[in-house]
A and B are shown apart, each in its own frame.
Chain A
Amino acid sequence: MTGHQWLLLAIMAAVVALLRFLPFLCFGGKRPVPPLFLYLGKTLSAAAIAMLVVYGMATVSGGGGSPVALALAALIVVFLQWKIGNPLLSIFAGTAFYMLALQGFLTKLPFL
């Protein structure tokens, strides 16, 4: 790996750490947390995750897989997580399905 690659990795680790420290850096003293910040902290984190889901789906579908397979894989993840609530199972099942579909193992299914 090159020096530039390590620089980028260090930047990413530093930004993640900075974000985790941020509330304490801003409001760690005696000052109370302003309600506006509490509101944004709560709503923005949920909105940002939904944003990442949409962005992730767009990026993954750019990889050339079938949109139907992608939608089904996402449905598998959401259904398993909602009903069973085991992240390991949900992520593994959805990813395995998508990989099998993309690598041509599921061509017998009429809808793929």
Chain B
Amino acid sequence: MPSAVVRRAFVASLPVLMGYLSMGMAWAVLFTTRVPGATVCDAALVSAATISGSMQFSAVEIIRDAAFYSPCWVAFLALMINIRYAAYALPFIGEFRTWPAALRSYLLFGLTDETYAILLQCPFTEEKSRRRYFLAVTAFDQTYWVVGSTLGALLGRTIRFNTTGIDFSMTALFLVILVEQCRDRSNRIPAFIGGAVTALVGAICLVWFPAHADKMLFPAMACIAGLLLALRKKTEVRGS
């Protein structure tokens, strides 16, 4: 019989069970049908090692046309696509310091958007329960993602299915995360800045550097970070 902590963790992870099974399947169908020679094992391995929808959906077209991508460029793209992960461990640093290094490393490794959101809502205050809860949620979520990917890869290779337009699911995932973040009012101005600056930089790239329009993420990110820093100074001066 699993402990009460593990049961609470399982119930909290149920929405992720639905989300990850379907997203994992959608990704694996895409991966195995778009990348020639990709097997069920390949899909499961990539999912177990990465556990990131935004990264893995972006990876499909990169891996399909791998010959056109250098390792440096891919590292840079991965950095830009996933920069938000760098913020997720911040709320947990304090308590993670005293936890065993192996546990801490696994929790950081498995810190997805959804796992982060669930861990923030942990109902326990006692350290031993919190450790168990964190470990259970992270392990459940990773399992759902890998099982979904395996199922999708199996189905993708047996069922012939027109996937034209399925790449929208990645944008839909970003939209869902954006909506969830915008429920917190303090995120709305940064989100607006991010969207508006990207549209502006994208338009400029398209007009003056059409050959490099696909590389607009770095200048966009730099402008966004600069603008956010400038705005912080302003609000601080106003506040004091």
A residues with a Cβ closer than 8 A to B are 1-2, 4-5, 7-13, 15-17, 19-24, 27-28, 33, 36-60, 63, 65, 70, 73-74, 77-78, 81-82, 85-88, 90-92, 94-95, 98-99, 101-103
Nearest CB in chain A to that of B216: its residue: A55
Across the interface, do B168 and A12 meet the contact criterion of CB distance under 8 Å?
no
A84 to chain B, nearest CB (A): 11
B25 to chain A, nearest CB (A): 11
Interface size class of B (residues with CB under 8 A): 35 or more
Q: Is B172 an interface residue (CB 8 A)?
A: yes
Nearest CB in chain B to that of A23: its residue: B89
Residues of B within 8 A of A22 (CB): 85-86, 89
Across the interface, do A90 and B194 meet the contact criterion of CB distance under 8 Å?
no
Known: A51-B197, A103-B162. A11 touches B78 (CB 8 A): yes
Question: B79-123 CB contact bits vs A (8 Å, 1 = yes)?
Answer: 101111111111001001100000011001101000000000000
Across the interface, do B66 and A27 meet the contact criterion of CB distance under 8 Å?
no
C-alpha gap A65/B108 in the complex (Å): 39
Q: Please name 17 further chain A to chain B contacts, defined as beta carbons within 8 Å, in addition to the given A20-B85, A43-B190, sorted by A numbering.
A: A1-B35, A5-B35, A8-B74, A9-B49, A12-B62, A12-B78, A41-B90, A48-B224, A51-B194, A53-B171, A56-B171, A74-B175, A77-B176, A77-B179, A81-B180, A87-B176, A92-B22
B180 to chain A, nearest CB (A): 7
Q: Interface centre among B166, B170, B188, B191, by most A CB within 10 Å?
A: B191
Across the interface, do A98 and B19 meet the contact criterion of CB distance under 8 Å?
no
Question: B58-77 CB contact bits vs A (8 Å, 1 = yes)?
Answer: 01001100110101001100
C-alpha gap A31/B228 in the complex (Å): 24
Across the interface, do B194 and A28 meet the contact criterion of CB distance under 8 Å?
no
Nearest CB in chain B to that of A58: its residue: B202
B26 to chain A, nearest CB (A): 8
Across the interface, do A16 and B191 meet the contact criterion of CB distance under 8 Å?
no
Across the interface, do B165 and A49 meet the contact criterion of CB distance under 8 Å?
no
Residues of A within 8 A of B190 (CB): 42-44, 46-47, 50
C-alpha gap A70/B175 in the complex (Å): 13
4 A-B pairs closest in CB distance: A47-B194, A50-B194, A56-B171, A41-B87
C-alpha gap A5/B74 in the complex (Å): 11
Across the interface, do A16 and B85 meet the contact criterion of CB distance under 8 Å?
yes
Across the interface, do A53 and B225 meet the contact criterion of CB distance under 8 Å?
no
Query: Contact check: which of B22, B96, B176, B228 meets A28 at CB < 8 Å?
Result: B96
Query: Contact check: which of B23, B170, B194 meets A49 at CB < 8 Å?
Result: B194
Across the interface, do B198 and A73 meet the contact criterion of CB distance under 8 Å?
no
Known: A5-B66, A8-B74. A44 touches B23 (CB 8 A): no
Across the interface, do A74 and B171 meet the contact criterion of CB distance under 8 Å?
yes
Residues of A within 8 A of B46 (CB): 9, 13
Q: Interface centre among A42, A56, A98, by most B CB within 10 Å?
A: A56
| 5 A–B pairs (Cβ distance < 8 Å), ordered by A | A1-B38, A12-B78, A33-B90, A43-B228, A47-B190
C-alpha gap A23/B85 in the complex (Å): 10
Residues of B within 8 A of A38 (CB): 90
Across the interface, do A49 and B63 meet the contact criterion of CB distance under 8 Å?
no
Residues of B within 8 A of A91 (CB): 19, 22-23, 169, 172-173, 176
Across the interface, do B74 and A47 meet the contact criterion of CB distance under 8 Å?
no
